[in-house]
Amino acid sequence: MKSRGQLPALHFDKMGYQFDWGVIIREPYWRWLLNGFIKTLILGSISWGIALFLGIIVGTIRTLPAKTARAIGKAYVEFFRNIPLLVQLFFWYYVIPPMIGQWFNRMESLPWIMAIFGLGVYTASRVAEHFRSGLNSVPKGQRQAGLSTGLSNWQLYRYIIIPYGFRLMIPPITTEFLTIFKNSALAMTIGVLELSGQSYKIGTWTFHSFESITAAVIGYLLIGLSIIGFMGWVEEKLKIPGLVGRG
């Protein structure tokens, strides 16, 4: 048999590679994969909550009449969009915690906290852009009609612009929701054992990285396809009859 103890990718000889798909279902590896799958779901979902909340705020700020407010919103978006997520995660994980304090830096769940936070604030910048363009696509007439019936600015947003614009955003926001799960794979680089991290770990334990990575890829496909299905259903439910014939 082949020598063990080398890097997985280096362990090939002229005899070729022996596939062993059993590593995916064998103890304890299938448990690791399942565990990683669940962690990916949790990581993506919580970050998504942050991204949506922050993104709506920043996106709304970018449509306000005040110039300074718009500049702040724009700065946020440009800053987070133009630095690779990987670098951002390193920043959150290696740079920020020691500044907060040793008690924080030594926390066991630090990778988790920083991955969720980093993924959330990053995705918020992308959500904000979709939100802004959704709000801006509400016809001017609607805005004027709202104001002329005596609505305040807050009421205008609450009752007209947000409910209206939000429906227009569903397709791009769906894409973003998908993307956050894909991007969550980067959390493995700061030590979170989510789906990609677990599959990588299985590879280093068994020297069957190709099989374990394939299993993780299928996991991500499952998540992606379910989201597409779910959001299609949401879009159907929220449709205003006679409006927005998007599909």
**Please, what is the minimum distance in Å from the beta carbon of residue 64 to another protein?**
20
**Please, what is the minimum distance in Å from the beta carbon of residue 95 to another protein?**
5
- Residue 16 burial by CB count (10 A; 0-12/13-18/19+): exposed, middle or buried? exposed
**Please, what is the minimum distance in Å from the beta carbon of residue 196 to another protein?**
6
| Phi, psi for residue 96 in degrees, rounded to 5 | -75, -50
Close Cβ partners of 67 (under 8 Å, ≥ 6 residues apart): none
Q: How far is Cα 240 from Cα 247, in angstroms, rounded to an integer?
A: 13
| Residue from 95, 102, 106, 140 in contact with another protein (CB under 8 A) | 95
Close Cβ partners of 136 (under 8 Å, ≥ 6 residues apart): 63, 165
| Phi, psi for residue 138 in degrees, rounded to 5 | -70, 125
| Residue from 42, 57, 69, 85 in contact with another protein (CB under 8 A) | 85
Site string for another protein, 180-219 (x = CB under 8 A): -xxxxxx-xx------x---x--x-----xx--xx-xx--
- Reduced to 3 states, what is the DSSP secondary structure of residue 193? coil
Using the minimum distance from each CB to another protein, give the nearer residue, 164 or 196: 196
| Phi, psi for residue 74 in degrees, rounded to 5 | -65, -40
Site string for another protein, 132-171 (x = CB under 8 A): ----------------------------------------
- Residue 58 burial by CB count (10 A; 0-12/13-18/19+): exposed, middle or buried? buried
Among positions 6-65, residues that touch another protein (CB under 8 A) are 8-10, 12, 14, 16-17
Q: Is 71 in the site for another protein (CB under 8 A)?
A: no
H helix intervals, the chain: 29-61, 67-81, 85-90, 96-100, 102-105, 110-136, 140-148, 153-155, 162-183, 195-206, 209-238
| Residue from 38, 100, 145, 221 in contact with another protein (CB under 8 A) | 221
Number of residues that bind another protein (CB under 8 A): 43
The first and second tokens of residue 5, run together, are 């103890």
The first and second tokens of residue 75, run together, are 């700065």
| Residue from 25, 38, 83, 234 in contact with another protein (CB under 8 A) | 83
Considering only the stretches 2-10, 66-74, 113-121, 141-149, report the one whose residues sit in contact with another protein under the rule CB under 8 A: 2-10
**Please, what is the minimum distance in Å from the beta carbon of residue 80 to another protein?**
10
- Reduced to 3 states, what is the DSSP secondary structure of residue 246? coil
Of 193, 209, 220, 225, which is closest to residue 115 (Cα–Cα)? 193
Considering only the stretches 22-30, 110-118, 174-182, 233-241, report the one whose residues sit in contact with another protein under the rule CB under 8 A: 174-182
Binding site for another protein (CB under 8 A): 8-10, 12, 14, 16-17, 78-79, 81-88, 90-91, 94-95, 178, 181-186, 188-189, 196, 200, 203, 209-210, 213-214, 216-217, 220-221, 224-225
